[in-house]
Amino acid sequence: MQVKQVNRSIVAALAVTAAAAGWVTSGAAQQLPLQPTKERGANVTAAYEGWYPNADGTFTMLVGYFNRNRVEIIDIPVGPNNRIDPGGPDYGQPTHFLPRRGWGVFTITVPKDFGNKKYTWTLTANGATTEIPLSLNLKYQIEPFKDVAMGNTPPVLKLQENGPEFTGPPRGFAATLSAAVGQPLSFPVWVSDKGTSGEGRGRGSAVPATLSLVMHRGPGEVKFAEQRPKADFAAGGKATATATFSAPGEYVIRVQANDSSGEGGGGFQCCWSNVHVKVNVK
């Protein structure tokens, strides 16, 4: 178990290094890894978290990003400046990039015969273009559903009280909703966290899970009544998410649950949960 923990730490470090270096970088706005961070004007890179096998023999790639700005929010529509190849440009990647690190924000599922093939996510922001490869390299295999060393597991999210449970990385849409421009849309979210199994040594056993709401993609702005709505654990962990949309079109909201291991699991690929909620706005 100790060996696995060290390897997973190396994978996390490699993912952050890839995000910082950009692997392949061009453009006047590139920034060296050890330079002080800027408020604005820096670039955005992909951050490959790793891959894991699925029960049906397919594999899932887990991908995040690193917006190197401290303040600047960057929107990059899917297209020449935000594309995944081959077969793209659209694989469900974000178009709305908050400052700093976004952990495990989307996934790509590949067939069982994917082998040595790879995808490349290309992002251009503030004059700099970066390209990050996504592959099934053995060094990047991860275990997002259980921290083997600690016994910790991700929080559980539900969009209906007695509905399906979602845990770990996002896959597909947890719900599809409708809204109108300028009219607040509210929907319930339930969150729970078992903490650890076994000896209770894990990092998720002491503090209840927390929620956050993020615009993943869309043609306009999304304003949340609370970006971190509080769950009522006396009422089964229920919280209310409220969002208002500035323009018509299709949006995706990312609902994230973290336990006490914090954002990005403290640098590991476990244990947090993300779900995507699609909203059609008229």
203 with 270, same domain: the answer is: yes
Burial of residue 14 (number of CB atoms within 10 Å: 0-12, 13-18, 19+): middle
* Domain presence at residue 69: yes
State which of 140, 166, 191 marks the end of a domain: 140
pTM for this prediction: 0.83
33 with 116, same domain: the answer is: yes
CATH number of the structural domain spanning residue 161 = 2.60.40.10
136 with 174, same domain: the answer is: no
Contact 123, 129 (CB under 8 A): yes
Question: What pLDDT is stored for residue 195 in this prediction?
Answer: 57
170 with 253, same domain: the answer is: yes
What tens digit of pLDDT does each residue of 8-27 get?
444 444 444 444 444 555 55
What tens digit of pLDDT does each residue of 58-95 get?
999 999 999 999 999 999 999 999 999 999 999 999 99
What tens digit of pLDDT does each residue of 229-239 get?
999 988 889 99
Sheet containing strand 249-258, strands side by side: 175-179, 272-281, 249-258, 210-217
The domain tally of the chain equals: 2
Burial of residue 101 (number of CB atoms within 10 Å: 0-12, 13-18, 19+): middle
What tens digit of pLDDT does each residue of 207-227 get?
578 999 999 999 999 999 999
More confident residue, 199 or 70: 70
State which of 77, 109, 140 marks the end of a domain: 140
* Domain presence at residue 148: no
Question: What pLDDT is stored for residue 16 in this prediction?
Answer: 44
